[in-house]
Chains A and B, each alone.
Chain A
Amino acid sequence: MADRFPTPFEIETPPGAEGWQELYPYSVLFSEDRREYEESQFWFQDGVHLPTVIPPWDATFYEYAFAGLGQNNTRHYVIPPARGVDFRTLNGYAFLSPVGVDDPAEIEARVPHFMERAGYYYEHWNELYDQWMVKIRELIGEMEALHFEPLPELEPLEVITSGKGLGSGYRLIENYHRLLDHALKLWNYHFEFLNLGYAAYLDYFGFCKQAFPNIPDQAIAKMVAGIEVDLFRPDQEVKKLASLAVELGLDDAFAESSPDAVLAAVNAHPQGARWMEQFETSKDPWFNFSGGSGFYSSDKIWNENLELPFEFIAGYIGKIRRGESLERPVERVTAERDRLVSEYSDLLASDEDRQAFEAKLGLARTVFPYVENHNFYIEHWSHAILFRKMRDLGGMLVKEGFFTEADDIFCLKRDEVPEALFDLYSAWAVGTTPRGSHYWPPEIARRKRILEALRQWSPPQALGKPPEVITEPFTVMLWGITTESVNSWLAAGADGGGGLSGFAASPGFAEGPARVIQSADGIGEIEPGEILVAPLTAPSWAPVFGKIAATVTDVGGIMSHAAIVCREYGLPAVTGTAFATRTIKTGQRLRVDGNSGEVTILD
């Protein structure tokens, strides 16, 4: 077995992708200038958030994310052993390297700052979280208020009479800058709480493992899991709409083939108005929901792809007709959670331990709503708005002849957009022709060819020499990457296959035919009783969990979406297998052991 992965400098450019480096900022490329440092680090591919090639503009969010992560870890809370994550793009894929603090004296020196700063947040968590909700909704309002409109022939008279002296060209460029500012602010807010939340959770997790060395991870998670979670709201809204459709007798409308036809049939129905009223309420904000991780402009948002929620509504209508209940087993989940807490607590050695357990569990439960819910507000709702606004801007530039379709804008780096906008603005100002209409169409065609060539390439799981043990807490927690998983990647590289094992993320056993799904587009193919095999799952896939037998994912740990939802639904799950979607083929019979983390292909 090899003891290291290829270095970044051994990776070649895929044929046809020459020049890919121009599609990303110079700062995220591996380069000779920093070679010594870059070769000394261990880099892993971020399959949790960015499993495929990142279009140039989409890289904005991931770059902002890791800047926000580092800033909060290092400059705000001074997390003693963890500074954050360094990131690079190679052949269009994101690679991350955890940046820790190795010197014990330095860790020690960081502790008082952490205690003061993080302590303040833990102490005032609920009020700060309430404040966060206000901030994030304000920010969402500001993002929603951004408008990109074609530049007018003449400025309205009001520009003159108000004496502002500023016109549409300025607003266009200003609005784009504001969009980027909002995005950066968004990612600062994202990490305002997240790592502190994870740290408190880890502390509780570690206590449980120390008290009960053999306790399954999912038991620890179950004692904390939230009951009313915003991340589950879109699914609940879809169920509500399905129930209402049946109640009003307009469920036949959902047999129509397109969303437009469904809505036409609903509107034609005498009770249609009542359903439409509920639909409008549910949609805003809960259908600002991505079919993917939320990091890609190509991820389908429910609001803009109504066939996704409508398909789920149709599925739920089928369940209601068969007499099945759509209620989440909230009472059962709550009762089970209380039972686990009381029984593990009874098994502890002393009242002192029970008090410590109660305190840690209490803090874990305090921080957990943020850990679960932020994802809806940031990656789903806010990203949906920002991508939509960018598409509006792209549409405007289509009219100006810069692009052939609105999504072409995502082929530009974020800092190229102001250049293009200035080109347009300055030409419009004087009434001449911008160069963009000549420059961009062939350039975008070239970039699309490069991106397509990059998509044909499979990235290695990691680059460089892994540390002997992975101790960086967030690598383990957020990405589910451990010494064992790194070793299994290395072993698989050696024999070309390797057993499929991952995190025992949700208990139970299941056998059944596999359904390998690469993205949300494949959800419709899933048949009842199948075992879902996917790179990762997204919250918007919730409705499929009602019909599958188990879940196997390539990436993610015990706190990944698939793990959380499967525990909720009582389905076995094995996450972070690395190779499942490459090894398993649809139709093969699988045995999934959610207790041991083993996946066996039976034929």
Chain B
Amino acid sequence: MGHVIRFEDYTTTDRAVLGGKNASLGELVAAGLPVPPGFAVSADAYKEVLGTAGLVGPLAEAVAAADPDAGGRARAMVSSAPLPGELVDAVRAAYAQLCRRCGRDDLPVAVRTSATCEDQPDASFAGEHETYLWVRGADAVLEHMRRCWASLFTDRAICYRAKMGYDEATAAMSVGVQQMVVPRTSGVAFTLNPHDGDRSQVAIDASWGFGEAVVGGEVTPDNFLVDKVLGEVSKRTVSSKEIEYRLTGSDRVERADVGDDRRTTPSLTDEEIKAVAALARRAERHYGCPQDVEWAIDAHLAAPDNVLLLQSRPETVWSRRPRASVSSGTAGGYMSIVNTLVSPLHTRRTASTDG
């Protein structure tokens, strides 16, 4: 059937049936980047399930009715559709293989949606669909796969498609299943300096625990600048990191205060800073444009395998501006030497050595 595709087996022809999120992870794995392993259930599987159950027409009617219960009725239909045995076997086999690969039974995974509509780059569904964390066991994976499908019919998603003018008949859902990472430290990295657009730098924000603290702005992260070419840390600012998200014994992530002893300790070693920068740079090289990546240092793995890429998307702020030319408007030839001698040098030095 080929409805279950491991990330490492991804090829670009799978993009249409895997949705943007899964395709992106598959592409990163194919590019040799260290992404936590996993697999995707294609949108064709979803379509087949709907088709076999005879739900295509009833779903369209339910959505078209546009009454307050429309979403609920549609979700109930999707949730109760029987699953073909071949699909169930394929998902179970892929999960079992993932467990073996990661060396533990009942491997906790993230199960998340990857809508094929997301292919429209101007219509990001970010946040419109579901992610289920700490899912354990094949039965639970199958159950959450259905929930993902159903989430295509949340009231918000239905409204959004209507507003954007997308054809309901083409809306389909791929599902991604990926190993959960327990990060010691995580954060984001830009392959340029977000303060001045300097493309020779990778800027890293890092803090203890799960990335929510950094992404959600709940903590002042450590900040590092790494020169891309030299590969050296060019600036470091270690902040007092007050809170972190960490794993409790029962697969729950909780917000907690960071102990005094770790608050002002750098959350990355120099080797890790360089490794994160190198990772971001590889993503940038792969896509050929500045990237905004999410990364994590896996608490259970040893260097150098512990530096993981969770997501990479194009940087949008500086990349959309026209880049200022350094040479235009400056005098040619030796006149620029005159300008150099006249203009104060101290500011230049300050830029490179403070911090």
Contacts and interface: CB of A to CB of B under 8 A. Distances in A.
Given A214-B198, A347-B199, A507-B230, A209 B327 contact: no
A339 B328 CA distance: 25
Nearest to B348: A209
B85 to A, nearest CB: 53
Interface in A438-487: 469-471, 473, 476-477, 482-484
B326 to A, nearest CB: 4
B342 A349 contact: no
| Interface hub of A80, A122, A210 (most chain B Cβ within 10 A) | A210
Interface stretch (B28-36, B180-188, B232-240, B304-312): B232-240
Contacts of B235: 214, 596
A214 B196 contact: yes
A215 B346 contact: no
Interface string A194-214: 000001101101110111111
A348 interface: yes
B252 interface: no
Contact of A118 (B233, B337, B343, B349): B337
A219 B199 contact: no
Contacts of A216: 227, 230, 232, 234, 352
Contacts of A504: 352-353
B1 interface: no
A211 B334 contact: no
A349 B196 contact: no
A553 B165 CA distance: 68
Given A206-B343, A219-B229, A199 B337 contact: yes
A214 B270 contact: no
A199 B345 CA distance: 12
B200 A214 contact: yes
A473 B230 contact: no
A356 interface: yes
Nearest to A212: B200
Contacts of A213: 193, 196, 198, 351-352
A353 B325 contact: yes
Given A81-B342, A115-B338, A348-B326, A214 B353 contact: no
Nearest to A485: B349
Contact of A353 (B326, B339, B352): B326
Interface residues of B, number: 45
A209 B350 contact: no
Interface residues of A, number: 60
B178 interface: no
A343 interface: yes
A81 B341 CA distance: 7
Contact of A207 (B200, B326, B334): B326
A202 B333 CA distance: 14
Contacts of A477: 345
Nearest to B227: A216
B207 interface: no
A355 interface: yes
B200 A215 contact: yes
A233 to B, nearest CB: 28
Interface string A490-528: 000000000000011001110000000000000000000
Contacts of A81: 341-342
Nearest to A594: B232
Given A213-B198, A350-B323, A356-B326, A343 B229 contact: yes
B199 A484 contact: no
Contacts of A80: 338, 341-342
Contacts of A503: 353
A114 interface: yes
A556 interface: no
| Interface hub of B196, B336, B349, B351 (most chain A Cβ within 10 A) | B349
Interface string B215-233: 0000000000101111011
Contact of B346 (A203, A218, A483): A483
Interface string A276-309: 0000000000000000000000000000000000
B229 A349 contact: no
Contacts of B225: 214
Contact of B270 (A114, A118, A347, A509): A509
Given A209-B348, A214-B227, A482-B346, A122 B327 contact: no
Contact of B341 (A202, A348, A509): A202
A192 to B, nearest CB: 17
Contacts of A355: 327
B325 A350 contact: yes
Given A81-B341, A356-B327, 17 more contacts: A111-B335, A111-B338, A203-B336, A203-B337, A203-B340, A212-B200, A212-B201, A217-B349, A219-B229, A347-B228, A349-B326, A360-B336, A476-B346, A477-B345, A482-B345, A483-B346, A504-B353
The 8 closest A-B pairs by CB, nearest first: A356-B327, A349-B323, A212-B200, A203-B340, A471-B344, A209-B348, A343-B229, A203-B337
Interface of A: 79-82, 107, 111, 114-115, 118-119, 122, 199-200, 202-203, 205-207, 209-219, 339-340, 343-344, 347-350, 352-353, 355-357, 360, 469-471, 473, 476-477, 482-484, 503-504, 507-509, 595-597
29 contacts: A79-B341, A81-B342, A111-B335, A115-B338, A206-B348, A207-B327, A207-B336, A211-B200, A212-B200, A213-B351, A214-B200, A214-B351, A217-B352, A340-B230, A343-B228, A343-B229, A347-B229, A348-B326, A350-B325, A350-B327, A352-B327, A356-B330, A469-B344, A476-B345, A483-B346, A484-B349, A504-B352, A507-B230, A595-B232
